[in-house]
A and B are shown apart, each in its own frame.
Chain A
């Protein structure tokens, strides 16, 4: 009998989560619509004056993306905890950190990636110049990946708890602040015509740090939650 390799197991988890996610399309749509609605709030609350909207656009887009990601993180572990899959992942003998990374990747593809895809359209609605949209998308790709990884730690810690979502946000937001700063600033620089490379490289470095360390933290958190 052939033992399943760790990579193969991770790919199986990835495929399963993607397939499950695609079945509930409305769950994918919800963070996107939330993203759009939060953005709509700003012109209504401030003023529709194009110059003002353009100046706040990078920051507002980033905050909205952060909030939408937080919202989407609720779905990461909850259903698997409820039906016992999470326990099975823990017991199956494959490296838990790798399997959970696969889960987080699947979750990002179903929640973070759609946000990135929609962001240029929403950026244009806020009056951002077309040239800066590319930087916006790149920064959001890096940022949402980091947020998914960090958020998974918070989600794993609070998965069984009552009012877990508020608690998870409290845990995650301080960690997310550096990501927000670098991402929003990079986009802002691109909008003003200057080079945003510095900020983007910093985000990439944060992502590498997250990819190497977060899975260990997520696995530890899941073990704690399943005690």
Chain B
């Protein structure tokens, strides 16, 4: 098991790479989702404002 984590001595490099991948993938998903949420928020407010002005 220890062999797995140390990766034949290259553990630092390998796990940094995989960890960074997790970070980048995570950021992408989270940022995309937040972007969509912001779009929802903005879209929700605008039509209501438009409706109020129309009789």
A and B touch in the complex (CB under 8 A): no
Binding site for A on B (CB under 8 A): none
Binding site for B on A (CB under 8 A): none
